[in-house]
Amino acid sequence: MKTDSNIFILMNDFSEKLIGVQVSAIQRSKIFYEFITKNIEIVTTKFNKNIIQFSQLHMRRYALHDNINSKNLYVDILGMKDWNSGKTDIGKMFNHYYSEKISDFHEKYYDPQNNLKMYIVYSNKNETSEINYINHFNNKKKAKRDHFLSNSLILSQYLTHDGKIKREEYFDNNGISRIIKEYEDNKISIIYLNNKYGIIEKTFPNESELIAWWLVNFVIKKNSIFIVDGGPHHIIPLKLINNIKVISVLHSNHIRSGEDPLTGNFNSSERKNLLATPNSVNACVILTDEQKQDIENRLDSHCLLYTIPHPNLNLTPNKNLDSRDYDKLIIISRLEKEKNITEAIDIMQLVISKHPRKKLYIYGDGSEKDMLRNLISEKKLDDSIFLMGYTSDISKELNDATLFLMTSLYESFGLSISESLSHGVPVLSYDFKYGPGTLIKNDENGFLIENRNINLAANTIIQYYNDLERIRIMIDNAYESVNWLSGENISKLWVNLFKKIQ
């Protein structure tokens, strides 16, 4: 079960707080290395000054082999792996200004006429006074933002009067400007690539052509296959390159929330065009058979569709009910509208009326955090529902829980469902498209509830907690129900796909 191809997993970024798309890409690289090929690299294209730190952190967290390489466009061009700590001293640079300390990490600088000139944000404020970024002001308006890495300037952003970016300059570890981006109406108009002496070497009309140039010169090898974890726009640079294979992974619903799979609007015209064009990519990977079937029924012609779910790599020892917190329910989710956490709170309000000791712990972050906190307080549930924020070690929390709630409006697979089941946590989920029906066997390892039926969901939970023996059996069933998602099994599906496109 091997391939002689060089596999590149292309994703946008190694952010500090990983989302499901990034987790699945990392896990896939792990099973590829173990079961398919040692020629595997993770490739990212977004600027992130902390990407080396974050990538190493997550690769350790998911126990990736040291030989799995991680490459990034800006790391290569700016020489970030060789970055040395600078000696920027704001006080000495601007000693004719006077400062006002706002907090341990925030400081303002004024000129002798009391005009605000700089607002400094520190990563840490100690003997080294490491700077995160500096906002520069002119005539009371922000005119420029400087970003620092280890107290050396790495990026300058020049702003228009209305706060839009008009120019970006990226500096290498020697302080040389290597990449310059000019903007018009908030869109890139031209990109200059300078050599190590700061002399213009190339120009690009857009980001895609810069990425394609970098891939050709720094990444691509013989027999290259790129697996794209992201939207269709991530595929554009690859279309500019000859003699490579491209596989797109569809992580989300292809239609808009609540619309009919056969008649509703696609979630984007770019996604529709990619799916409906036979030669758009070499293959499109869909996470469930149900979604693959709906796409085939919807489109007269389409790219090669292949069903490959996410692997489940949890290897934690089984824990029975007696070693868990009997009253602990859990949600792992981004706090965004499509995750529909408000209805989970409504469900818990009904559950608590019958089981007042039950607690719901919600792990994740997002734009709806403040709204959800206020809703919890309005319903006087502060002692029963807790917003725990993002955690990098969810395994410990799952090992203590006895039920997982999923009230999303839509998903494509439900990575958190499989992760919960692999920790022996039965899942109660709305029966939406797509994912829950693939993973949950009703009344065996969880519950599939009519979509948006709050009362049925609450009554199901209430009855679940009335029967201890039922909980014990469902915990055991949960563990067993994801065995088919083992790394070895999922790797076989990928090898079959590689053979098909070669």
- What average pLDDT score do residues 86-97 get? 62
Question: pLDDT tens-digit profile of 130-143?
Answer: 899 999 999 989 99
Q: What's the pLDDT band for 90 if we cut at 50, 70, 90? A: low
Bridge partners of residue 109, in order along the sequence: 99, 118
- pTM score, two decimals? 0.90
Which pLDDT score is estimated for 87? 58
> What are the CA-CA distances from residue 42 to residues 18, 29, 203, 370 (Å)?
15, 7, 26, 35
* Phi, psi dihedrals of residue 448, rounded to the nearest 5°: -100, 115
Q: Mapping DSSP to helix (H, G, I), strand (E, B) and coil, where does residue 85 land?
A: coil
Is residue 383 predicted with pLDDT exceeding 90?
yes
Mean pLDDT taken over the chain? 92
Token pair for residue 397?
A: 């929390």
Question: pLDDT tens-digit profile of 297-354?
Answer: 999 999 999 999 999 988 788 999 999 999 999 999 999 998 999 999 999 999 999 9
Cis peptide before 434 (omega within 30 of 0): yes
Is residue 411 predicted with pLDDT exceeding 90?
no
Which pLDDT score is estimated for 129? 73
Q: What domains, with CATH codes, occur in the chain? A: 6-80+210-307 (3.40.50.2000), 90-206 (3.90.930.1), 321-485 (3.40.50.2000)
- What average pLDDT score do residues 99-119 get? 89
Token pair for residue 266?
A: 């696609």
Which pLDDT score is estimated for 125? 58
Do 375 and 342 form a contact (C-beta atoms < 8 A)? yes
Specify the range with the lowest mean pLDDT, choosing from 103-117, 126-140, 435-449.
Answer: 126-140
**Number of Cα atoms under 13 Å in the Cβ half of residue 169:** 13
Token pair for residue 422?
A: 């692999």
Q: What's the pLDDT band for 15 if we cut at 50, 70, 90? A: confident
Specify the range with the lowest mean pLDDT, choosing from 7-21, 84-98, 474-488.
Answer: 84-98
Is residue 209 predicted with pLDDT exceeding 80?
yes
Q: What's the pLDDT band for 150 if we cut at 50, 70, 90? A: confident
- What average pLDDT score do residues 472-501 get? 95
Calpha distance 285→252 (Å, rounded): 11
CA 143 to chain centre: 31
**Number of Cα atoms under 13 Å in the Cβ half of residue 489:** 12
CA torsion, points 340, 346, 348, 353, in degrees to nearest 10?
Answer: 180
